[in-house]
Homo-oligomer: A and B are copies of this chain.
Amino acid sequence: MTEQQQPARTTSGHHPTSAAAGTRLDPWLGSYADRTHAMRASEIRALFAVANRPEVVSLAGGMPFLEGLPLDDLAELAARTVATRGLTALQYGSGQGDETLREQILEVMRLEAIDAHPDDVVVTTGSQQALDLVTRIFIDPGDVVVAEAPSYVGALGVFRAYQAEVVHVPIDADGLVPELLDETLTALRAAGRRVKFLYTVPNFHNPAGVSISLERRPRILEVAARHGVLVLEDNPYGLLGFDGEPRPAMRSMSEEGVIYLGSFSKTFAPGYRVGWAVAPHAVREKLVLASESAILCPSNASQLAISTYLQTFDWRGQIKSYREQYRDRRDAMVDALAEHMPDATWTVPDGGFYTWVRLPDGLDAKDMLPRAVTARVAYVPGTAFYFDGTGSDHMRLSFCYPTPERIREGVRRLAGVVRGERELVELFGTSAGPGRDSVQAPGPDLA
């Protein structure tokens, strides 16, 4: 975005349709693949530039709060990894990932009752890459992915990039509703559509903050199996529950029917970009081939850093510390919502990073966003989490990164914006009242 505001630089080159002076036409516009026309900037990513300004309270991003990490100890760990295992850390590695790390990942997953073999695990560049690889090996253009309504914006972006169609299934306070899943899959089959997989975030859902109840998990697996549909269980937040023990993963109940995605980004740190997939044997082989084609191999430097961390640090204690920290922030968030925005409704998550807020009738979270940023608070409008761009009556508020005090201040600012919107609605019947166009002039991405 920033580039578009710069003076166009002069261009050289032999291509006959090179950009004319003063504009920047794309000489390769006619050369892109079909899938490229479906790519567009995620509303979350576009917000980053704004949300990073210090005066804005960002309730938008999903960045974990890392300031509690023992950086000096981690520095010592990084040094030891390079000094003692540098020739491995700095070299190419296996496409599937470091074997020791894959064994340690099994230990992490045992907390969610998963029993697997190191051969079942593929290490990826964050679990986002695992999402990309699974979609790559399964989706032809026009295939259907069934996903919760709403769904993680980054997953929807991947499905869109591979030209899938996403059909949403409603959720409630206990997560995905098995009966509605069954109805949806039955209708899709009747319509002759090819459904390749069900995408679900079963724990502390992004953005909705709910979890699939224990009772529903086997029922969802039964419905999916009956329709011949693979389950893609995306679980970055499962160990970040605020109360009680982690729920058993869907993967713990089905070895052949589930691809499970995990990540160290939320339980440790995202900067290493280390996630993983656990897949049925034959699928795992395809994932490794696809990953070798995409990146040759994941970073040994990152993998060995994580492996040494798991071996030498109290990683369970660190997760406990994260849980307590995020619980305090969740409390700050829902208390502030109750105090300042009594006319909205919201989920009260028992883990993870997000609450899902329904605005009072007549308000549009996407339209309101520029005014919110002007009031120095940012969030993600619900439209980002629906494949068809509906969901404008909702917003996602994240409580992971700002301090409790900042969260309260952010909600207070947001409530002021909502009050202003409601006054517009009462006066004009819509919030698209006077000043709307000029305020929106920078466009929905707030560039």
List residues of A whose CB falls within 8 A of some B CB.
Answer: 2-3, 6, 9, 11-16, 18-19, 24-29, 31-36, 39-42, 45, 48, 63-64, 66-67, 69, 71-72, 74-83, 86-95, 117, 119, 125-126, 128-129, 132, 136-140, 143, 154, 157-158, 161-162, 196-197, 221-222, 224-226, 228, 230, 254-258, 265, 269-273, 280-283, 286, 289-290, 292-302, 305
Contact = CB atoms under 8 A, between A and B. Distances in A.
18 contacts: A14-B222, A18-B256, A19-B281, A27-B282, A32-B138, A33-B140, A36-B136, A36-B138, A36-B286, A76-B79, A90-B269, A91-B269, A91-B271, A125-B125, A132-B295, A272-B299, A272-B301, A273-B296
Contacts of A273: 125, 295-299, 301-302
Contacts of A40: 289
Contacts of A282: 24-29
A299 B286 CA distance: 24
A164 to B, nearest CB: 10
Contacts of A221: 14
A284 to B, nearest CB: 9
A196 B36 CA distance: 14
B39 A295 contact: no
B83 A11 contact: no
Given A16-B228, A128-B293, A299-B299, 4 more contacts: A13-B256, A13-B258, A24-B281, A88-B271
A16 B225 contact: yes
Contacts of A125: 125, 273, 295, 299
B74 A91 contact: no
A157 B91 contact: no
Nearest to A196: B31
Contacts of A18: 256
Contacts of A83: 71-72, 75
Contacts of A79: 75-76, 78-79
A36 to B, nearest CB: 5
B75 A91 contact: no
Nearest to A18: B256
A88 to B, nearest CB: 8
Contacts of A197: 31
Contacts of A76: 79
Given A82-B75, A157-B292, A282-B26, A15 B299 contact: no
Contacts of A25: 282
B292 A45 contact: yes
A74 to B, nearest CB: 5
Nearest to A252: B12
Nearest to A139: B33
